[in-house]
């Protein structure tokens, strides 16, 4: 599938709709290293106040069973944490393959970390469902692993059908509103 060239408005809409943050080339040699680095990133971005609490929540969740779903993908989660908003997603590509105790025994390169203030708030599930559908696609995984910039990542998300119709409708609506305000 071809990349979709995007301007600033389209990029902003995709970011608002699907994921808050992208980490390309996430550092770490172990599962614990990458989970700690995700928690540090979330603190740096102002999502959370305490990276150690989030890190411990990630570890506790991994202790219940691996979040690696196969095909080099993991979906770690930290809920019941104090956050700046109800939930956030951080889509990551690791610099190296990471052993994540996956059921298929394959290492992980793609991580979608979910942070949630309230585990019972299930509104984030519709976004997780969309991501998992994209992550199941070999085309998405291949293109995501090759993405050079954050803009490339959002283009890949669009190309996989993650809200392209909604993106188009929102762009048209915002452009009409802008034209109306400019008159």
- Which residues have a Cβ under 8 Å from the Cβ of 17 and sit 6 or more positions away? 162, 163, 166, 167
Please check whether residue 92 is in contact with residue 23, taking contact to mean a CB–CB distance below 8 angstroms.
yes
Phi then psi for residue 82, to 5 deg, are: -75, 120
What domains does the chain contain, in order, with CATH numbers?
1-18+138-183 (no CATH), 20-120 (3.40.930.10)
Which residue, 10, 18, 19, is CA-closest to 167? 10
Residue with structure tokens 């298929």? 104
> What is the rounded radius of gyration, in angstroms, for the C-alpha atoms of the chain?
17
Task: State the pTM of this model.
Answer: 0.78
Q: Kindly report the number of other CB atoms within 10 A of residue 97's CB atom.
A: 11
Please check whether residue 111 is in contact with residue 76, taking contact to mean a CB–CB distance below 8 angstroms.
yes
Render each residue's pLDDT in the chain as its tens digit; 183 residues.
334 444 555 555 555 554 558 899 999 999 999 999 999 999 998 889 999 999 999 999 999 999 998 889 999 999 888 887 788 889 999 999 999 999 889 999 999 999 987 767 776 777 777 788 888 889 889 999 999 988 788 778 777 665 545 555 555 566 667 667 776
Encoded tokens for 105:
């025994």
Q: Where are the alpha helices (DSSP H) in the chain?
A: 8-17, 31-44, 51-64, 125-135, 138-146, 150-159, 164-182
d(CA 179, CA 87): 33
């Amino acid at each position: 599938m071809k990349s979709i060239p995007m301007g600033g408005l389209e990029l902003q809409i995709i970011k608002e709709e699907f994921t808050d943050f992208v980490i390309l080339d996430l550092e770490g040699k172990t599962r614990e290293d990458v989970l700690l680095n995700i928690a540090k990133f979330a603190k740096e971005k102002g999502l959370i106040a305490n990276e150690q609490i989030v890190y411990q929540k990630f570890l506790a969740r991994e202790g219940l069973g691996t979040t690696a779903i196969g095909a080099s993908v993991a979906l770690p989660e930290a809920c019941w944490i104090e956050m700046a908003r109800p939930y956030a997603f951080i889509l990551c590509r690791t610099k190296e393959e990471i052993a994540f105790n996956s059921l298929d025994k394959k290492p992980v390169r793609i991580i979608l970390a979910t942070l949630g203030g309230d585990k019972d708030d299930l509104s984030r599930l519709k976004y997780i469902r969309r991501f998992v559908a994209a992550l199941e696609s070999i085309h998405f995984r291949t293109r995501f692993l090759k993405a050079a910039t954050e803009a490339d990542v959002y283009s890949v998300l669009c190309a996989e059908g993650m809200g392209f119709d909604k993106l188009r409708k929102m762009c048209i609506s915002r452009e009409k509103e802008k034209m109306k305000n400019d008159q």
